[in-house]
Amino acid sequence: MLIPLGGRLPENSFSCLKFGAKGKSMPDYIVVKDGSPTDARYQLPPSLEEEYDEILEDIYFGRPVVHKLKEFMLDHPAYPQAGNMLAAVYLSSGKLPQAWEVNEKLLDRFPDYPSAVLFKAKFLLDADRLEELEAFVDLQKDFGEQFPGRHRVEFSELAEYESVAIEWLLANAENSLAFSRINTILRMMEDFKTELPFCDRIFDAIDAFLPEEEMLPESRVILENLARCQLGLPLRPPFHHPEINLLYQQLEEKDIPALMALLNLPRKTLLIDLRAAIRDGIRNFQFFHHYYENEEIDLVILGFLLLAALREPGDLKEWLQFLDSEEELVDGWLGDWLGQLMFVVGWQLGRDDLPQMAAALRRSYRFDWASPNLVNSLLLVILHEPDKEKEVLDIWEDTLHWIIRDNAKGADISPYLADTILEYACALDMERFRPLLDQAYARGDIDKDFYGSKEVFLRDTRDRSELMQGFEFTTSVQSLEQWLQHIIKGFN
């Protein structure tokens, strides 16, 4: 795939952005996937590629190659590849003077050979000889300005150049410019679906030049994306609103106003961003679990609570898809909050879509507490909107018949679904649901370790007024700000 510079780009395409002085024309080149034809100078002809590849194979297996490289240089002086590799071999074996000398001689003959230029630039960077580096090469320039006349550039060429420029910017405390260039090259990497081989070097540069106490939210995003890059994972979504990145941090009570302020962002793009953040958390659960193992990141909980506050039609589907995830994932993101708070999400998102809630009760979830959580949500619909009580009770009765009479048609349902429905249904209409309670006990659908015998169940059944004073209802009448406080205080 070719990526043109200038003009309107196709979706998911990236131009090679210009980082040089303002007012200069955009360099005229395109970036192509590695292995695609390019117009790089000094390319080895096919007749020499096999001989050179054999030397590279020797290097890979740790065989001596110095004399082979020198012979190749003598036999084929028009090509700089062997000289560049000889300098690298000397450098890797700790022979710095020899590496420097070989590369200097190479630059005398091939001053526009990118690999030789970057070898010297990295050598000077590693030696902290910044003034010499800046006298040698202007790393503010774009690749096309640095090496004029190129029209087709491999991504790895550009990425290597950018990694050196980024390290130089960090060394000069030009953090914003460095971050901009990192973001650009990472997004290009994602578009090309290739790995960036210079992540370690950029990691080390950030660690060396940006103390932890100076870390900003922007640098946290960079570090996380570099880690994702190394693992071959998608980068953090590019949000319309950078404020969404707050969800990716361990929060304190002082952050609640900023969380609440998210609801003031333009609704359409806010909804897109919240869904993208939630899906990112779901898709990359294992990454979050390990990368933030020393922090309490509450991305999915907070994302769904904000979605619940917005009550956009159709977002019930997002919640149900999440509940249908692996038990480790649901429990890992929610833990005890599923039963202590998150029933408000199903209530807010499902209160205007009861047919979908009814269908959701009959789904086979991989987490046993998913469908009982939806029963709690439906209870809140009744307690907040009494005119919907008949519809919810009908849903519960139909679901119980499906479980008891039809044996759930062979579906793998939660063992806690029938007794959770009956706990609330009997409190609201004992006469209607008593026969179903008897049948459920006879079939063994009731958890006797929790509810006890049928007599105990009947004795402990609450009435409507007690439901109105119960934990589910009193939690539901709290504000979003209070819900957020519960989450954050629970973590701190």
DSSP 428-469: H-HHHHHHHHHHHHHHT-S-HHHH-SHHHHHHH---HHHHHT
| Bridge-based pairing state of the strands 30-32 and 2-3 | antiparallel
Average pLDDT of the chain to the nearest whole number = 89
pLDDT of residue 19: 35
In terms of pTM, does the model score above 0.85? no
DSSP for 39-50? --TTPPPHHHHH
Assess whether pLDDT exceeds 70 at residue 349.
yes
pLDDT, position 17 = 38
Q: Is the pLDDT of residue 386 over 70?
A: yes
Q: What is the reported pLDDT for 442?
A: 93
Average of per-residue pLDDT across 41-64: 94
Q: Provide the sign of the torsion angle of the four alpha carbons 313, 316, 318, 321, taken in this order.
A: negative
pLDDT band at 220, cuts 50/70/90? confident
Confidence of residue 27 (pLDDT cuts 50, 70, 90): low
- Strands of the sheet with 152-154, listed across from one edge: 2-3, 30-32, 152-154
Q: pLDDT at residue 324 above 60?
A: yes
Cα 3 to Cα 35, 144, 156, 165: the distances in Å are 15, 14, 14, 21
- Select from 328, 312, 324, 402 the least CA-distant residue to 360: 324
pLDDT at 383 > cutoff 80: yes
Dihedral angle sign, alpha carbons of residues 45, 107, 112, 176: positive
Task: Dump the DSSP string for 100-126.
Answer: HHHHHHHHHH-TT-HHHHHHHHHHHHH
> What is the pLDDT, as a whole number, of residue 198?
72
**Could you tell me what percent of the chain has a pLDDT over 90?**
73
| Least confident among 127-136, 209-218, 251-260, 275-284 | 209-218
Higher-pLDDT residue of 68, 34: 68
The residue with tokens 């993101």 is 333
Phi then psi dihedrals of residue 289, to 5 deg: -60, -40
Nearest to 435 by CA among 395, 463, 397: 397
Q: How far apart are CA 302 and CA 272, in angstroms?
A: 15
Give the pLDDT confidence score for residue 12 in this predicted structure: 36
